[in-house]
Structure 1
Amino acid sequence: MAADRNLIESSAEVRRALREELLDLLHSKNIRSVYQPIVSLSDGEVLGYEALTRGPERSALHSPLSLFELAEQEGLLYPLDRLARSNAIGSVTLRSGKQQLFLNLSADILNDPLFAPGQTLELLRLRGLTPANVVFEITERSSIEDFEKTKHILDHYRKQGYRIAIDDAGAGYSSLQAIAELHPDYIKVDRSLVSGVHRNKTKEYILETMVTFAEKLGVYLIAEGIETEEELTKLTLMGVHYGQGFLLGRPDKEPADLTPELRQHIVSHRKKLEMSGHVLSIGELSSPSPTFDAQTPISTVANYFKEHVNAQGVVVTTGSEPVGLIMRDRLFQQLAGQYGYSLFWNRPIDSIMDVRPLIVEEHTPVEWVSRLATSRDIRNLYDLVIVTSKGCMLGTASIRTILECMTNVKMENAKVASPLTGLPGNLQINRELNRRLTEGRHFSVIYADLDYFKWFNDRYGFHQGDQLIQFTADCIQQAIHLAGIPDDFVGHIGGDDFIAMSGTSNPELLCTDILQRFDRGVRAFYEVDNWSYVEDRHGNRMESGGVTLSLALVVCKSGLGVTPEQISQVSARLKKLSKAYRGSVYYCDCISSEATAPAADPQPAHHGNKSSI
């Protein structure tokens, strides 16, 4: 009992000492802010920095986790948060007017009676910043109990130009509800989903779903905790918008840029993603737009609109950077109100501009911009989209132009795609093959062909034959999705012939997966019948249990110096070998620019009837 009493007294004594240290820390303002970069996974540019708080060195309160946990327990969370926010804003130096400062906020802080917009705004002005430079990052430190109240508070800040991020998505139990209720501008993915994503298919599928989810909502995804190049590569190829982690930059007192090597790594891999789909960029749709300095009188802009009746809107700039948008209808609606002209005529244009217009970089895919634009509030649905080049004003694109472009792209794709499977046709296949050969990287080509399909089609009819072709396409696509990499390609040459191109390091596994999926499901197309032979194209009877699949796997060690004709010749030889072998099978051979003579006939690498399916 005496030992227990001593332990309790000791714990109470430690607690008192920590409380006194915390009070002294608040009084002396003895904390510091460090800044970790958040980087675009499109071009390697720094979007902004997350401000992180550190207590005194060699103190039990040095860690932000310990510091804020104790403050919450002692009822001192509000004053600590105000001090941390003030210090973060007062110490930061953003490298451009477009960069953003991410400030962590617990949901509880929004209930602080002293959490007033004017205080934060005054701090920003002292540093030459605006609300557009700040993102309030709602953390999972405590759950949100009253979403309606929280949404009302955050909407108040949004109207001033602040942005909102939901932190730790995928970790906290209420993060999905917070996303649904609060409509954030950014979703930060917890590092538990990011760590090892390149070797964990479950995490990969979850993140792919989140990318699609974010695109449909018109928000940006930020992957936290990136620590390896493999993780960075995977996330970039998956289309995740931004990244943060020790690999990209550690928290430091001075905000840092990305290294040239990592920037090039990101740019090269994102280029592969964009080229795999031949996606148009918004810069191609951009047209010159009139701009006005933020301090231009409203009267000057109104007179411009009167003289240029076809002008939809104008961009407000500070230097070469766009900071707002004025749409014609909205300006005249403002002036048409009671006392409108007397109130606004001589005021600067930045007093009534939209401080949160849609601003995108020139290399952003048009499809992505279309989703962002059409997910805006109904009042802003037809506003111009501002296009920048490295943060500087480039031009604008109208919603009409963007939607017309999307319609044309879909129509063009439909023209060259297979009407039966919806897969890319020969035009796109040739483009993809030439692109890979030009890049000179290692990749594999898989040619797939059904055996005895003509006999099956004659016996069961065209409708059943079409279903078998669609089934074959599904087998190849599913295998590519599971055993391939994000920028792999599947095309439909025509009839029962398919092609796949993959950068996986193990194409043999990919072929095995395709054959296993095919052999498992093909019998469902004729299970009511029982026969021991089929007929070849010439009507000759062949002993067989049914339709099989032949694959020709051509591994290109390097695309440089290799021609499409060489690949075609090798694949034709392999295809002939595989068709001569009874059952589902693939034959494999390698090709490179040094190859001058055809290799000896390889042995079949997999026979469907002998595999453990």
Structure 2
Amino acid sequence: MIAINFQPEITDALEQFSQIIKDQSIYSVYQPIISLQDGQVFGYEALTRGPKGSPFHSPLVMFQFAEQQGQLYALEKLAREKAVQGANLDNKQQLLFINISSHVLYDPQFIPGRTQEILHRHGLRPENVVFEITERSSIEDFSLAKKILEHYRKQGYRIAIDDAGAGYSSLQAIAELQPDFIKIDRSLIENIHINKVKEYILETFVTFAKKMNISLIAEGIEHADELIKLTRLGVHYAQGYLLGRPSEGPSTVDENLRMLIWQHRKIEGGHTWTIGDLATPVQIFDVKAFVSEVADYFKKNQESSGVVIVNDDVPVGLMMRDRLFQQLAGQYAFSLFWNRTIDGIMDNAPLIVDEYMAIEQVSQMATSRSIHRLYDLVIITSKGKMIGSASIRTILESITNVRMEFARVANPLTGLPGNLQINREINKRILENSPFHVVYADLDYFKWFNDRFGFQRGDQLIQYTADIMQQAITVCGTPRDFVGHVGGDDFIAVSSTQVPEMLCQEMIRRFDQGVQMFYEGEEWDYVRDRTGNPVQSAGVSLSLSLVVCSCETLISLEQISQTAALLKKKAKAQQGSVYHIKGV
């Protein structure tokens, strides 16, 4: 941290600082955090600023001075209050990230109940707040810190670790505190689209976060290429000047950036359905409709489980049938509520999602709700306007059906789609009549490897090949791209990337980089081909056939297959990992 020396004018500085605390003259600005699934604003990070024109306008100067003078708790307490007071969340699902120094956790005056009072006054709940832990290096007793944070979690607050990747302390804090969010430091994000080491590190973070059910937030995004790479890698959320600068009011995402995110987002398991595919019509009522109108509707439409409350086509609430009649069942409730407007008793914090959000993500959000809201309708919007709803049953059934179909025809070794789905995918691309590419992959001298090292190691090499093809698609492909397992050591990739040669080069690079580990240092003078003849070779290699389908003329699955077979022969006639290309 930068050392700041106030000694020559310490008295004046202390008087100014004390006056700032007394007058409560600090304020908050809010930087948006964007979902890399649907491009919507997921939440805001509150950033404290001192009075404009004051030497304490910079938060770095102000907070360091407060720490030097033993006034850090007073400043942080005021900063939290200002963050809540100025927050203007667009909906009840958005989160407010509030920075707190780790050593403030141990302060006996740090009472979360006080924060809860402020939240209540401004229409927020602990579930809307994420405490973002900074200054992790000052945590000396992780067991105590974990116990304190667990106390806050039970009240509904969530925890984020800031600046992950910037030092050992962040990794230790992740391991010990098990946060809900990990914020990836700008040092790992900058130029990640051209830095393979950073890309591999972030791939590891994504895998780890998935296993631990932790969400990743990439910080400091300033360029579209960085955004595309992070979206393709499967990072959950992002913030940075490209997506929105800190401001005192709410933010909107540039439509071009939103579409860029949607085009490049990573879809788990190759399933491309979004919640918008499940949207069904639902009855709507104006926010000033009478309770009696809604009750009459439910009486006449017994099959309806809920209605959406709107204000100019923008959903603002939900009224479920059972909850309405429960409220009207009280001794005086009927006469009390019957002629009042529905906004007085509706659920004003329903789950509202954008049509482009992945069904799996919506399922996680819906099933994490409290038990009394678990079966409430999920409201679906398009550009903020109401388009329909989906029930939790419909959402779960759609996920189950897709997974059952996938499991039925998937290859049991790699879990990738088999021949039936491969043929469907290629035929679908042909019918769409848009350019696409087919990459046919085959391992050279795999039989020799299997005979020499055993079938178990052979299976591991097959799984490795499946992994590198999927990783290459993630880095160089598009969200709709597809990887299938024909059988044995043969694979297929179907891509719409504009640079298919780069995709092949990435597959070869990843394969050659990792295949050496399967030999465990063994050496040989030659390998044997499938007929048993000795051939000089460094070991197993990867042959790729790249069939470019321009769709300018009518093509067929058989034509693509025959072209791939001819290219395969050419590739196998050469030593080492290579690819050959031809258009159809």
Q: 1:240 to 1:588 in 2, by over 3 A?
A: closer
Q: Secondary structure at the match of 2:303?
A: coil
- 1:543 alignment partner, one of 534, 556, 574: 534
**1 CA distance for matches of 2:18 and 2:520?**
75
**1 CA distance for matches of 2:391 and 2:406?**
23
Which residue of the partner structure matches residue 589 of structure 1?
A: 580
Residue 397 in 1 paired to residue 375 in 2? no
Which residue of the partner structure matches residue 543 of structure 2?
A: 552
Residue 289 in 1 paired to residue 289 in 2? no
Contact residue 359 and residue 388 of structure 1 kept, 8 A: yes
Contact residue 6 and residue 13 of structure 2 kept, 8 A: no
Which residue of the partner structure matches residue 37 of structure 1?
A: 32
Residue 111 in 1 paired to residue 110 in 2? yes
**2 CA distance for matches of 1:35 and 1:576?**
59
**2 CA distance for matches of 1:152 and 1:432?**
50
Q: Note the 1:489-528 alignment, pairs <5 A.
A: 489-500=482-493, 505=502, 507-508=504-505, 510-511=507-508, 513-514=510-511, 521=518
Deviation of the 1:404 alpha carbon: 1.8
**Cα RMSD, aligned residues only:** 4.7
Give CA-to-partner distance per residue, 1:178-223, whole Å, 9 cap, x none.
555xxx6x66444455445443244322331355257x47xx6432
Which residue of the partner structure matches residue 21 of structure 1?
A: 16
Q: 1:506 to 1:88 in 2, by over 3 A?
A: same
Q: 1:100 to 1:410 in 2, by over 3 A?
A: closer
Q: 1:26 to 1:286 in 2, by over 3 A?
A: same
**2 CA distance for matches of 1:211 and 1:504?**
31
**1 CA distance for matches of 2:501 and 2:159?**
35
**1 CA distance for matches of 2:184 and 2:377?**
30
Q: 1:373 to 1:305 in 2, by over 3 A?
A: same
Which residue of the partner structure matches residue 569 of structure 2?
A: 576
**2 CA distance for matches of 1:532 and 1:485?**
33
Which residue of the partner structure matches residue 219 of structure 2?
A: 224
Which residue of the partner structure matches residue 262 of structure 1?
A: 257
Give the TM-score normalised by structure 1: 0.71
**1 CA distance for matches of 2:226 and 2:285?**
43
- 1:474 alignment partner, one of 451, 455, 463: 463
Q: 1:444 to 1:65 in 2, by over 3 A?
A: farther
Instruction: Name the amino acid aligned to 1:291.
Output: I
Q: 1:587 to 1:205 in 2, by over 3 A?
A: closer
Give the TM-score normalised by structure 2: 0.74
**1 CA distance for matches of 2:112 and 2:471?**
52
Q: Note the 1:168-183 alignment, pairs <5 A.
A: 168=162, 170=164, 172=170, 173-174=172-173
Give CA-to-partner distance per residue, 1:312-363, whole Å, 9 cap, x none.
3333434433333343344445555676657766665445544443322122
Deviation of the 1:573 alpha carbon: 3.1
Task: Choose 1 or 2 for highest CA Rg.
Answer: 1
- 1:166 alignment partner, one of 156, 160, 171: 160
Contact residue 40 and residue 47 of structure 1 kept, 8 A: yes
Q: Note the 1:304-343 alignment, pairs <5 A.
A: 304-334=297-327
**1 CA distance for matches of 2:321 and 2:146?**
35
Q: Note the 1:203-214 alignment, pairs <5 A.
A: 203-209=201-207, 212-213=210-211
- 2:57 alignment partner, one of 55, 62, 65: 62
Give CA-to-partner distance per residue, 1:398-451, whole Å, 9 cap, x none.
22212221222123223432345432123433455575996657x772420555
Contact residue 449 and residue 540 of structure 2 kept, 8 A: no
Q: 1:149 to 1:140 in 2, by over 3 A?
A: closer
Which residue of the partner structure matches residue 411 of structure 2?
A: 418
Give CA-to-partner distance per residue, 1:68-103, whole Å, 9 cap, x none.
333355454565456556666776777x56795735
Instruction: Name the amino acid aligned to 1:410.
Output: R
More divergent stretch after superposition (200-209 vs 102-111): 102-111
Deviation of the 1:365 alpha carbon: 1.8
Contact residue 220 and residue 241 of structure 2 kept, 8 A: yes
Contact residue 544 and residue 571 of structure 2 kept, 8 A: no
- 2:441 alignment partner, one of 435, 439, 447: 447
**2 CA distance for matches of 1:153 and 1:343?**
37
Which residue of the partner structure matches residue 353 of structure 2?
A: 360
Deviation of the 1:22 alpha carbon: 0.9
Contact residue 446 and residue 551 of structure 1 kept, 8 A: no
Contact residue 132 and residue 160 of structure 2 kept, 8 A: yes
Instruction: Name the amino acid aligned to 1:102.
Output: L
- 1:429 alignment partner, one of 422, 427, 430: 422
Deviation of the 1:300 alpha carbon: 5.0
Q: 1:300 to 1:261 in 2, by over 3 A?
A: closer
**2 CA distance for matches of 1:155 and 1:354?**
23
Deviation of the 1:169 alpha carbon: 6.8
Deviation of the 1:551 alpha carbon: 3.9
Determine what percentage of the aligned residue pairs are the same residue.
40
Give CA-to-partner distance per residue, 1:42-71, whole Å, 9 cap, x none.
343444543322224564422212213333
Q: Secondary structure at the match of 2:282?
A: coil
Deviation of the 1:279 alpha carbon: 1.9
Q: Secondary structure at the match of 2:369?
A: coil
Instruction: Name the amino acid aligned to 1:552.
Output: S
Deviation of the 1:476 alpha carbon: 0.9
Q: Note the 1:52-201 alignment, pairs <5 A.
A: 52-57=47-52, 59-74=54-69, 76-77=71-72, 80-81=75-76, 84=79, 100=94, 102=96, 104-106=98-100, 108=104, 111=110, 115=114, 117=116, 119-120=118-119, 122=121, 124=122, 130-131=123-124, 135-141=128-134, 164=158, 166=160, 168=162, 170=164, 172=170, 173-174=172-173, 188-198=183-193, 199=195, 200-201=198-199
Q: Secondary structure at the match of 1:510?
A: helix
Structure 2 unmatched ranges of 5 or more: none
Give CA-to-partner distance per residue, 1:275-313, whole Å, 9 cap, x none.
982422222222222334455555554554444333333
Deviation of the 1:572 alpha carbon: 2.6
**1 CA distance for matches of 2:201 and 2:285?**
47
Q: Secondary structure at the match of 2:114?
A: coil
Q: Secondary structure at the match of 1:585?
A: coil
Contact residue 278 and residue 390 of structure 2 kept, 8 A: yes
Give CA-to-partner distance per residue, 1:455-483, whole Å, 9 cap, x none.
999x99xxx87x57634421312433666
Deviation of the 1:138 alpha carbon: 1.1
Instruction: Name the amino acid aligned to 1:204.
Output: L
Q: 1:262 to 1:425 in 2, by over 3 A?
A: same
